[in-house]
Structure 1
Amino acid sequence: MIYSIRLTIAHYYDQPAANSRHLVRVMPRTLANRQNLTTHLLEVFPEPESRSEAVDFFGNKTTFCAHRDQHTEMTIHMSCNVDIHPPQKWRDVSLGVADLGRVCETLRDLGSESPLHFLGPTPRLPPNGAIRDFANDLFHPSDSTVANVIRIGKALHDAMTFDATATTVDTDAADAFHLRRGVCQDFSHIMIIALQSLGIPAGYVSGYLRTLPPPGGVKLEGADAMHAWVRAWGGPDQGWIEYDPTNATLVGTDHIVAGYGRDYSDVSPVRGYLRSSGGQQNTQAVDVAIVG
């Protein structure tokens, strides 16, 4: 199955901006036995005075661009095709949470896939008593890690309402949980804190969600912008699984990974600084369609 992805991110400044430096993370990854990035193009307007490509610590594709001259808007266009492999069959071979904790205590690997990076907290995801209590109420110590992950993700979906007007990109997970409203970023941050409070390594995934539903299906929430979901580690035999709490589903072929990180800050689509005065407006548009 081949997906065509088109993304446009636009920044409009009330006053001309200059001396800007931005790091862009929007390109899908190539992941063995799962997805393969084929044709791809990333354009930035106005044309940057300098630009470079790199891969960050977690293996995400990054583009650095700099504008010295004044400009009143900056637009990023990304287009690509991604070949999605059929989902691999898997079964729950994850450890119990207590055994998982004992295994984590023996780990010494600090590579990008090490669960040790995903035990928390981070500046954006401090421990929270209300979220911890929510997780504890749902935790079954006799069940596997994967079973607990799915139960907590489903319960969070049931407890929250998707509301694009309730939060902003800077809203704390604790505040979104108190409101019981938010977007995919909020759902994912809350679930990560919940899982980490139990000792389950969990991280943030950014990516894309198929815009058009299958025949007779229902369009999923969050399909008109970059999407976010959660990955959790179930032990050395299970490895990482991914769960989308916004839509209460294990991740399948509708989800295309762009970046892995500890929280949104590690994989934000655009991050940087500039010199300007006044405010700015940002827009984002995404289209994901099957082309083959």
Structure 2
Amino acid sequence: MRFANVSTLVIVSIMIAAKAWAWLASGSAAMLGSLTDSLLDISATLMNFFVLSYALKPADDDHRFGHGKAEALAGLGQSAFIAGSGCLLAFHAIERMFNPVDITHSMLGVWVSVFAIFCTLVVVLVQYQALKRTESVALKADSLHYKGDLFLNLAVMVALLLAYYGISGADPYFAIMVAAYLLYNAWQIATESAGHLMDRELPDEEKAHIVEVACAHEAVHGVHALRTRQGGKIRFVEFHLELDDHISLVQAHRIADEVELMVKDAFSLQKHPEFGGEVDVLIHQDPVSATRKHD
């Protein structure tokens, strides 16, 4: 993951230099929006670089459930920063509508946009490889943002091509589209981060998979009181296991340990890359007769 962050920082730094050059040369509001987005990108990636180092630390005496929620806090910070920049860009675009500026060297901006699209594809590929090995919320949000940047850079390229052919009035409208894109990204990142901070349940298909795996053990009569949440890359799973009334405590403990290993194994990245990862399982054993009385 550290390699993905460092690679992203280097590539985005090159893109920022190229976009700043193109904006200063052309005066395009759309190119300014693209430059603003790249500045936000590198700020978010820098934040991820430091936050992930802390979030990946193992649990300690003061943080018995780990440090994974630091990622969600970073995500909320990113979303606020992105939303503020989107609003400022929208105000700038509206002002440009009433006070238009001639765009020069538009083809320079077009080639810079082509270069930015290529660089963004490289970043998305590097982050995709990193996400296959981890389930970082911060890195996932970063990757989502860069995927959207492909369309953003394409929109800027179209705006500059229109200016090259004499339709310069389209530039502020494309800048507003970029601002709307930034605000949409801010909302997505804030929603996902808030879900992790508020201990939102895992998706229904993952919960159904947990129940299915636990009930596959021959000594298990059923599962109830399932509770789940996620902190960083770790899923926390709790449930009650319904066992035969007459087995010993030692047997009940052994069965619970076996079910715990089954659940962890079922969520391994090798077997289920679609939702694999680290799982922390807590199981309470119940006699099946007591469970039936409450049904």
TM-score (normalizing by structure 2): 0.25
Structure with more strand by fraction: 1
RCO greater where, 1 or 2, for CA within 8 Å and sep 6 or more?
A: 1
Q: Which structure: larger Rg?
A: 2
Structure with more helix by fraction: 2
TM-score (normalizing by structure 1): 0.25
